[in-house]
A and B are shown apart, each in its own frame.
Chain A
Amino acid sequence: MDRDLVEQASHGDREAFGVLARVHGDRLYAIANRILREVDRSEDAVQQALVIAWRELPRLRDPDRFEPWLHRIVVRACYGEARRRREWTTHIRVLPVDGPGQPDASSNVADRDLVDRGFRRLPPEQRAILVLHHYLGLSPGEIAETLGIPAGTARSRLHYAHRAMRAALEADERVAVVAGGRSS
């Protein structure tokens, strides 16, 4: 279905593009929301991505590549949003705790807060690659195709993103230990 719609849209069919936007909008939003961790910015990124996709669609050579191409555009829109607002750490909020069945809810809140802080410290490029890998389940090769970068670069970025995330978590843990020691 996508292929026909993409071809129609690339020839200026706004109705076809509207269908594509509604079909893929949720996924774009999910990606943006996870990279930016902020509702308003995510919505802006999705809107920008759709506008850019419309404008640039005639340049997409292979209609079957529409979805990864769209993902690339939304990721880049997220970069733009992130650049416009760098003060990530001033807008930390703890996301909802997972549903029932968690062994220790308070511990989960603390852990999630820790992860959230660590994730927000990463540059947008690293957050994006983690979202593509851990949320979309893309391999480094698929990430490379999506982002238009060499596979080796995707692998190395993923490696560094994991390392940075680990370092951020460890830094927070150290702070927590020191703070705990002072208060006791």
Chain B
Amino acid sequence: MTSRSDVERVLDRYLADGAEQVPDRVIDDALRQIDHIPQRRALRVPWRFNDMPSVFKLALAGATVVAVLVVGSMFLNRGPTNSVGGPGVGSPSPSASVPASATASPSPSLALTDTSNWVPFTSDLYGYSIARPPTWVAQPATRDWSLETDRADWVGHGVADRFWGAAEGEDTLVTAFADDVPSGMSDDEWLTAYYEGTEADGQQCDALVEELKPLPAIMVDGRRGVIAVNEACSDAQAFVFTEGRVHVFAVWRAEVALLEAFLSTVRFQ
């Protein structure tokens, strides 16, 4: 009875038998519940900025300025020589680079998820290692991400290490890549340049900037970073600046806690 084909036949019979009709009260109860439950907004993967209508490009460009101010101010507020408010676009500020030895208090808790059984992944291309849930699929980058050609393309087909899997019942994407911060460019200038190419589909991500919420600074493998959350587009990105280089880790369609769990496994080479 236990050869492979027998097992399949046994399962065919076993699983053919069972309840087929849901009691009406189960459906009724569920429908009563949804009377009080709002639907979540639709999500879209951001599309190419170049595909957007011109009017929206202008609107987004304006909104991007605000985004940069928000993110930039996160850096400036921490730096001992930086003033509150941060730089505007085109008005470079003093460097907001955060030295590895900075004394900021670390994130209270990065590892919100148990990562003990996660599978390690090492990127020689970008010089870091990370771990992913065992059921997730890793797609290594095939070429270097570049600010010039790939700005804001955190979805990163071919240019980012990509990790696909399910979280909370949804397909979820985590990506990671890194880039050299050009000599003479401060961290917030780099962020400004990064967000200048922000993508959106013009339909769902129009609240891109308004909802970009800064979170407390994080520590990733002993180095300081920031997370920018965009609830409208259901993505979050972490930026870790270190030794003339920036590492970007992004998550789409999941809670920030998942990104934080990934970050807790990061080791820089």
Contacts and interface: CB of A to CB of B under 8 A. Distances in A.
Interface string A3-38: 000000010101001100110011011100110000
Contact of A54 (B17, B37, B166): B37
Given A26-B21, A54-B39, A56-B40, A46 B26 contact: yes
A68 B95 CA distance: 51
A59 B40 CA distance: 8
Interface residues of B, number: 41
A34 B170 CA distance: 23
A176 B18 CA distance: 26
Interface residues of A, number: 54
Dominant SS among interface residues on chain A: helix
B26 A148 contact: no
A173 B2 contact: yes
B171 interface: yes
Interface in A113-140: 115-116, 119, 130-131, 134-135
A51 interface: yes
Contacts of B34: 14, 17, 50-51, 54-55
A169 interface: yes
A102 to B, nearest CB: 11
Contacts, number: 131
B42 A95 contact: no
A87 interface: no
B15 A22 contact: no
A47 B18 contact: no
Interface of B: 1-4, 7-8, 10-23, 26-27, 29-31, 33-35, 37-43, 135, 137, 166, 169-171
28 contacts: A10-B42, A14-B35, A29-B21, A29-B22, A33-B18, A33-B19, A34-B15, A39-B19, A42-B19, A43-B22, A43-B23, A46-B27, A51-B30, A56-B39, A95-B18, A98-B13, A111-B1, A115-B11, A116-B14, A119-B11, A130-B11, A134-B14, A162-B4, A162-B11, A169-B2, A169-B7, A169-B10, A170-B2
